[in-house]
Structure 1
Amino acid sequence: MLSNIAAPSRPLPRITAVGTGVPPHSYSQEELLEIFRVDDPRIRSLYLNSAIERRHLTLPPVGPDGARRQESQGELLRKHVDSGLDMARTAIAECLGKIGAAPEDVSYLCCVSSTGFITPGFSAKVIKELGFDTSCSRLDVVGMGCNAGLNALNAVSGWAGANPGKIALMVCIEACSAAYVFDGTMRTSVVNSLFGDGAAAVAVTADAASPTEASGEPGEPGPAATAAPAEGPVVLKFASRIVPEASEAMRYEWDDDHGKFSFFLDREIPYVVGAHAEETVGALLEGTGLRRSDIAHWIVHSGGKKVIDSVRVNLRLTRHDLRHTTGVLADHGNLSSGSFLFSYRRLSEEGVTAPGDHGVLMTMGPGSTVETALLRW
């Protein structure tokens, strides 16, 4: 079914490339249980029934007794920066390489992270370390959590639409192992069993064509709807839903007992997210002439097995619809803000998208928030 989105006043932003980066070492859940000498059957069950097979992590150094020692907050912060920059370098190089661009060609840089706090932020460090032009505009999105990738993509897409022909780059940098506390409690074990390290970069550019050429007249298929170029889909619109009554369900806070930050996940959060997924997608599709059955591709944040199942049931999706979401969870765990871009990359490499197809991106995280975006190939 063709959407009847009205022609915009400026060219539509287009996702042109995605790249990813992870630490060099990957561990199975069984290996992690042995490395950290976990004997508690409840915690072992948490790891082994998570639908996660492996995760890339930067583990703590080995202590004198041969066990992994506790890291101070200062050490975790250095891990956040050092590992984050390494992963970002890989993701950016891959992303820009796909479109034949170099760092100095980027005019706008947005860096997203929730696994540490630094000033200046990652954007300044990336510009310095990777050789971006010093006139590059920048933005840091910090502390928004797993949903932040779409919050930032909204800002990046807006900048790209206002600056046709120029490259805007978003980089999600999440060294989740820099936010771990190991104390043997179920609270911290839920987090430790779930998150992995990874970075993802996405390039966005608005075609330097007229708005009518880019989108077609309302209700009619323009050239982009019938012969979308190979660079990638256009970003049509965004929709958000925040659930204030669940604002404490996901939080990153200071732990006085350990002298470091610690992340908390409420056990009810999968059901909160699932219950609000349908109304968020409804708001996204409102006014477009599209129904949920018209959406060919679904890219949902790999938040965890229960979160994915809750979204799938509430939106009446199939397991095939969420194959990339569950695949990323199995191979990487929850990668926080960049998870959906790892799934998007798999969809792109699968080669099943066709001109005129529509897709929905969905992320969820602290707030509690559900974020969505509508794409058209």
Structure 2
Amino acid sequence: MTAVIESATAPRTANQPRVLGVGTAVSPVSWTQEEVLDAFRITEPKVTSVFRNSAIQRRHLRLPDPGPDGLRAPESQGDLLDKHRDTALQMGAEALEACLKQAGADLADLRHLCCVSTTGFLTPGLSALLIRDLGIDRHCSRADIVGMGCNAGLNALNLVSGWSASHPGELAVMVCTEACSAAYAMDSSMRTAVVNSLFGDGAAAVALRSGNTAPGPAVLKFASCIIPDAAGAMRYDWDRELERFSFYLDPQVPYVVGAHAEIVVDRLLQGTSLRRSDIRHWLVHSGGKKVIDSVIVNLGLTRHDLRHTIGVLRDYGNVSSGSFLFSYERLLDEQVAEPGDYGVLMTMGPGSTLETALVQW
């Protein structure tokens, strides 16, 4: 008797959205951690140790120019909002055009545009401004996801995938563009040091279309997990002393996130007959060294499994909502993904929240 072995599968539908292309962009100037410390003349040992032990080598940032005395003056909230608008638009346009080029498409093909950002607030939003600046069809459907944080890329991908599935054959693009320099508030506190040592400017775009046989991976399903008890662990709030918004990261965030990674991944794979060992590609948000280590431990992964995430953190820092797409781009460059391979995308951010998606090549 020949045994019949059922292969692991995940649910598919006729109009499953597929990823056609990805593109990334950064602000023009990159800085080593030592150069950032020198730029702001930071010598406090506790603060410098945070920068030097971050597993980050370089980040792209738009820092204020030095004055006549060589010091870089604090920027007002108005100046930071201007920086967000200018930097986010410039990077977002570059990432969008790079994404369309890889997808073999033009701006004229675009039917839905979703823009994601947390590093500033604009009305009209980035989607309307990009449509105006790039000459995109004014009838293009659009949406803006604002203020959700580093997890927002997968929240938005979920919505864009739904739009794509209901509009077969039409092109949708999600653009995550985060001018983290616009959230850079310098003082001598450890709260500020943790944030300032971690984030960098970056944008990433991904193109989707359903009802086709493109070689890119199909987006199969999503799963989320919010941790209400940790609602204040990651937050962007008003600093009355500095008179600007300031981001806060609780030191326990990596451990809280790691402890819930297994829960959300198991939920993602529920009903698919897949096990974690069936996942060949892991594309996780580059949230920080301790976050990455915690995910590795709690999911039983290796550093090789998260090599793209580790490399993005090293070369760009945490670029917020688009980080996982920087990792996806590196996976594509390796050319190791094969038809039938499964991948898990994972982001985490304020809420506190973990978001996941299952894809298959």
**Alignment TM class, shorter chain as reference:** over 0.9
Q: In structure 2, what is the equivalent of residue 76 of structure 1? A: 80
Structure 2 residue 356 is the aligned partner of structure 1 residue 352: no
Counterpart amino acid of residue 158 in structure 1:
G
CA contact (8 A) 2:204 2:322 kept: yes
What does residue 312 of structure 1 align with? 296
Q: What is the deviation of 1:69?
A: 1.2
The question of whether the paired residues in 2 share the 8 Å contact of 1:4 and 1:287 is answered with no
Distance change in 2, residues 1:287/1:87 (3 Å): same
Tell me, yes or no, if the aligned pair for 1:19 and 1:202 is still in contact at 8 Å. Answer: yes
Counterpart-to-counterpart distance in 2, 1:95 and 1:73:
32
* TM-score, normalised by the number of residues in structure 1: 0.93
| 5+ long unaligned stretches in structure 2 | 1-5
Which letter maps to 1:319? Answer: R
Query: What secondary structure is seen at the aligned counterpart in 2 of 1:39?
Result: coil
C-alpha distance in structure 2 between counterparts of 1:195 and 1:90, whole Å? 20
Distance (whole Å) between structure 2 residues aligned to residue 143 and residue 19 of structure 1: 22
Cα offsets for 1:31-54 (capped at 9, x unmatched): 111111001011111000000000
What's the RMSD between the two structures over aligned residues? 1.1
Match of 1:125 in 2: 129
Contact 2:184 2:196 (8 Å CA) reproduced: yes
Residue 71 of structure 1 aligns with an amino acid whose one-letter code is E
1:302 corresponds to which of 286, 302, 305: 286
SS in 2 for 1:139: strand
Structure 2: how far apart are the matches of 1:362 and 1:298?
Answer: 8
User: In structure 1, how many angstroms separate the alpha carbons of the residues matched to 2:62 and 2:355?
Assistant: 29
Amino acid at match of 2:75: E
Q: Secondary structure at the match of 2:151?
A: helix
Aligned to 1:213: none
Contact (CA 8 Å) 2:112, 2:171: kept in 1 or not? yes
The answer to whether 1:27 aligns with 2:31 is yes
Contact map agreement 1:191 1:263 (CA 8 A) in 2: yes
- The answer as to whether partners of 1:16 and 1:203 remain within 8 angstroms in 2 is yes
> Do the aligned residues in 1 keep the contact of 2:10 with 2:274 (CA within 8 Å)?
no
Pick the aligned partner of 1:327 from 304, 311, 335.
Answer: 311
| 1:109 equivalenced with 2:93 (yes/no) | no
The structure 2 residue matched to 1:99, chosen from 103, 106, 124, is: 103
Distance 1:153 1:43, change over 3 A: same
- 1:6-21 pair list within 5 angstroms: 6-8=11-13, 10-21=14-25
CA distance in 1, matches of 2:87, 2:149: 18
Equivalents in 2 of 1:2, 1:48: separation in Å?
A: 46
Listed one character per residue, the Cα deviations across residues 256-283 of structure 1 (whole Å, up to 9, x for unaligned) are 1111100000000000000000010000
Which letter maps to 2:150?
C
Partners of 1:2 and 1:11 in 2: CA distance: 22
Gaps of 5+ in 1: 209-227
C-alpha contact 1:23 1:87 (8 A) present in aligned 2: yes
Counterpart of 1:375? 359
- The residue number in structure 1 matching 2:92 is 88
Normalization by structure 2: what TM-score?
A: 0.97
- Which of 323, 327, 332 does residue 343 from structure 1 map onto? 327
State how far apart, in whole Å, the 1-side matches of 2:305 and 2:249 are.
26
- The CA deviation at 1:7 is 4.4
| Aligned equivalents of 1:2, 1:124: Cα separation in 2 | 46
- Quote how far apart the aligned CAs of 1:5 are: 3.5
Moved over 4 A (4+): none
